Amino acid sequence: MTNIEFVYFDLDDTLLDHTHAEEKALESLCEDSAAHFGDSAFPLVLSTYQKINPTVWHKYSLGEYTKEQAKVGRFEQLLEACFPEGLSRAKALAESYLARYADFWQPIDGAFEAFTSTAASLPVGILTNGFSEQQRAKLKKFPHLEHVSSAIVISEEVGYLKPNIKLFEHAASKVNIQNSSILYVGDSFRSDVEGGVGAGWHVAWYSDQETDLPNVWSFTDWNAFTETIEGIVHRP
Ligand SMILES: [Mg+2]
């Protein structure tokens, strides 16, 4: 990995703690009005949502669901599972969830510091799946991320979602760097590791799982990540 010229970072659960915001937003919804989910307690609502949402996003990434079907459909499925009598409120609930979700965005410990120190050595960017308005709002809340970035790539604005290689190729051509000289930093095996490898990028996988895939290394410690980047940049 001697020829890295650009580092793209994933946003959710890599730089920003999406999982925390998702849990707190659902908890807030449950606490606000018990009528939303009938007698279903928060742990059941959360575990049900966490089963439904990845499948919805998978279908959205394959083009099987529209954005609206993804955004509202996950709450239709959640209500069907937890409180079918409330099904007519799925759309309102979906909007309310997103508003609450935004209240709980916060950085992953150590990630912003690593992002900033990487940016001192190499040009960086952000490559993220997600609804454009949410991802833009996250960047607005943490303006340093966009300020330091040379490129922001949001799947919905391009028309392909990770792990579609076309999204990675779009991101590479946007910064005019060849695929084999880009490092991607992300937490998802399917979206980030498989997508990045498929595009011919190097991948730093933010995970406690091991991998022997070529051009992929995993890490959980952002200080170790920063040291690896410094090793690449300052290698004689
Ligand atoms: Mg992620």
Q: What is the pLDDT of residues 90-144, one digit of tens each?
A: 999 999 999 999 999 999 999 999 999 999 999 999 999 999 999 999 999 999 9
Cis upstream peptide for 163 (omega within 30°): yes
Structure tokens given for 180: 């084999």
The parent domain of residue 84 ranges over 18-103
pLDDT of 1 above 80: no
Residue 49's domain is classified under what CATH number?
1.10.150.240
42 Cα to the center of ligand 1, angstroms: 24
Question: Over 90: is that where the pLDDT of 224 sits?
Answer: yes
pLDDT for 34 beyond 60: no
Domain end position, chosen among 80, 103, 126:
103
Spell out which residues have Cβ within 5 A of ligand 1, the ion. 10, 12-13, 187-188
Which amino acid, residue 90? Answer: A
* Residue 68 banded pLDDT, cuts 50, 70, 90: very high
Average pLDDT, stretch 148-155?
A: 98
pTM above 0.85, yes or no: yes
3-class DSSP assignment, residue 110: coil
Q: Among candidates 115, 134, 109, 113, which has minimal Cα distance to 17?
A: 109
Instruction: Report CA(85)–ligand 1 centroid distance (Å).
Output: 33
Same-domain check for residues 94 and 192: no
What's the 35 CA to ligand 1 centre distance in angstroms? 32
* Cα 36 to ligand 1 centre (Å): 29
Q: How far is the CA of 229 from the centre of ligand 1 (A)?
A: 20
How many structural domains are present in the chain?
Answer: 2
Point out the domain boundary residue: 103, 122, 157: 103
**228 and 206 within one domain:** yes
Higher-confidence position of 87 and 37: 87
Q: So what's the pLDDT on residue 38?
A: 80
121 C-alpha to ligand 1 centroid (Å)? 23
